[in-house]
Structures are given as structure tokens and as C-alpha cells.
A and B are shown apart, each in its own frame.
Chain A
Amino acid sequence: MKCSRCRKDAIYFQRQSGQYYCGDHFNTHFIKKFMRGVREEQLIKKNEKVAVAVSGGKDSITLAYLLKKLQQRYPFQMEAIIIDEGISGYRNLTLDAAKAQLEMLEISYHIESFKDCFDRTLDSFEKNNKENACSTCGVLRRYLLNKKARELSCTKLATGHNLDDEGQSVIMNLMRGDIIRFSRGQNYYKKISDKFVERIKPLRYFLEKEIVIFALNNKLIFDSSECPYAVYAMRGEVRKFLDRMEDLRPTTKYSLLSGYDKILPTLNKCFIPESIGACKVCGEPTMDGVCMGCKILGK
């Protein structure tokens, strides 16, 4: 098939819009959508300092690449933070990809490891409890990202979450009955404690498949191995369900997230307190007396 805009061969058919895209027009479309999103949501202000969380997978690499492009339009500072959770046979590969691509983009980076910061690797936690790996990993990773971004005096923390990730999280939080997490949204971090660096997700309305095509089309360096703990996570099942629904009815993922975004302000008002306290052990913000990070670390 040919591109809907020129005579070149199409590389992608966007079922949601009925458009065919060649490589060049796909790039233009993707970059435009990114720039428009950042502008309309006012995600990054002029001269702000942004921390970008980079894992070495296609989402965060694409995000770093696009933020670098955004820097050509107006000035802001950017530093990358790479978290090394200590997952043998996996994180070392994605780490190498992250370093290589960031060096090529001339983005400076900081590597923070579980081993150095908590004196333990994720592997050491999860020997007997693989089903729990993702929640331990997530809590400690967010803890470190926030702490490091704050230390670097960044006012935003950008992550590469995509439309698929976001839709899955909406469903998973609801299925777990975790109404607090379900009701948070991104603004939570802005309003609830000044120890939280405000989080932004510039790719949250991009389909995961489109991000893969963008990363391949632009020959970005990323690693596509799968984390050994991923198979134990409920997310995989929810992903399959959403993929099937999208196949039956294109735009399902989009409708799910935009519908959720519409009720989020109300959820926020109903379930989220105005402010929270500090952890008795480490001083990081938390709703309980002791933060999740310290609980996991047995402090």
C-alpha cells in the first residue's frame, strides 16, 4: 500500500484514523503529535530543569530522543537518570543500550543502583517471591527516581509510559480495588508534597506499537529483551485483554484513557488528601507513618 500523503510505500496503517503512513510521514506525524501534546499540556516550561528516566527500552529512549528535539525549539535543561535494579541477564543489556543512545544524543546521565542505595539487588529480594518482583521493583525505582531528581534540582520527572501502559494500570488498579492509586493521576505529585518532583508522561497517548515503529524507523538504540520477572506479573494478562479489545474495536485504548482522564479530577477530590506527611525513617513523603520503600527494606 501507498502512503495516504505521498506515493511512497506505507510502513504503517493507523486503523484508528484509516491513514497509511510512509516512514517520513509517520515521523512527521509522530513528532508533531508529541510537540503539540507538550505545548497544550504545558508539560515543560522554558528554562525548566527536567529529569528523564531512561531504562534503555524503546519508550524511554524515544522519549529522550524527542525531548532532545524539543530542546532545539526552546531552552530547558535535561539530565537522564538510569536505575539499575540488579536484575541479572537483563538490566545490563538495557543499561548498555541506554548509555550508548544517551551518549549519542549528548544527554548527561546518572546511574543509581539498588545495590549502592539499598545495599541489595532486586534479585536478592525476590529469590523466593517472584510474583512480588514488579511491585518491589516499582516502589523502589520510583523512590530513587524521585530522590535523585530532587537532588538534581529538577522540577519535572519525565517517564516513558505509553497508552498501553496507562490503560493497563487503570484496569489493574481497579481490579485490585486500589482506589487510592486509581484516583491519583499525575497531578497528585504536584499538589500533595513539595518533596515529590512533579511527574510528566509525554508519551501517554501514544500506542506502544507506534513507539516501536518510531524507534525502529529512526534506528534508535534500544534493547528489547524481556525482564525475567515480567512473566509473573498480572500486567501480561491485562495487556492481552486490551490488545484483543483494540483488535475488535480500534480506539478502545484511547477511549479508556481519555474517559479515565475525564473522571480523574473528581476522583482526586474524593479520595486524595490535601497533603501528606513524611516517613519516620527516611523523611520521604508518605501517606502512612513509614513509607513503602522503608517497609520493603524492613526498616
Chain B
Amino acid sequence: MIKVIFLRDKKSLEIEAENVSEVFSKLSLLKEEYVAIKNGKIVCEDESLSKGDTLELFTVASGG
């Protein structure tokens, strides 16, 4: 299981996924909407994920 954390909303969930792209598609998110941070490092969408990884999603849009 991968732990996914939405940084702006401070919400998190667990999901089964082999790479970042799969997280995006399973959660119906667009690549334009978030920057993915795996275990503290910014990563591309094709970055692979393994059990115990934490994936933080940083919202791109800043209303203001």
C-alpha cells in the first residue's frame, strides 16, 4: 500500500499503485493539478512506487 497525502487539504488515504501515474488515474487527478513528492523528493509521473512509500501531492493552483 502507498500512502497518499494531499498537502493542501491535509487529507490522506492508502492506495495500491505501481507508479505515480497510476495514483493519478485511480484518483481521477490530472497531472497539471499536482506536483508529486515521493518520500520527500519531487518526482515525475512515471516514477515507480513500492510498498511503504509516501506520496505527497502539492496542489498547483493557488487561488489568490
Task: Kindly state whether residue A12 has any CB partner on chain B within 8 Å.
Answer: yes
A216 and B63: CB pair below 8 A? no
Task: Kindly state whether residue A234 has any CB partner on chain B within 8 Å.
Answer: no
In whole Å, how far is B48's beta carbon from the nearest beta carbon of chain A?
9
A213 and B63: CB pair below 8 A? no
Interface size grouping (class) on chain A: 35 or more
A23 and B42: CB pair below 8 A? yes
Interface size grouping (class) on chain B: 20 to 34
Q: Which residues of B contact A57 (CB under 8 A)?
A: 62, 64
A59 and B43: CB pair below 8 A? no
Q: Which residues of A contact B42 (CB under 8 A)?
A: 11-12, 23, 213, 216-217
Q: Evaluate whether A244 and B64 lie within 8 angstroms (CB atoms) in the complex, with A212-B35, A224-B58 already known.
A: no
Task: Kindly state whether residue B53 has any CB partner on chain A within 8 Å.
Answer: no
Q: Which residues of B contact A10 (CB under 8 A)?
A: 43-44
A212 and B58: CB pair below 8 A? yes
A94 and B30: CB pair below 8 A? no
Within the assembled complex, what's the spacing in Å between the Cα atoms of A12 and B20? Answer: 12
Q: Which residues of A contact B44 (CB under 8 A)?
A: 1, 10-13, 20
Among A32-40, A169-177, A185-193, A225-233, the one that faces the other chain is A225-233
In whole Å, how far is B16's beta carbon from the nearest beta carbon of chain A?
22
A212 and B60: CB pair below 8 A? yes
Q: Evaluate whether A59 and B62 lie within 8 angstroms (CB atoms) in the complex, with A11-B44, A217-B42 already known.
A: yes
Task: Kindly state whether residue B59 has any CB partner on chain A within 8 Å.
Answer: yes
Task: Kindly state whether residue A123 has any CB partner on chain B within 8 Å.
Answer: no
- 10 new A-B contacts, CB < 8 A, other than A57-B62, A226-B64, A229-B63, are A9-B41, A11-B43, A13-B45, A90-B64, A208-B32, A216-B35, A225-B8, A226-B59, A233-B63, A247-B32
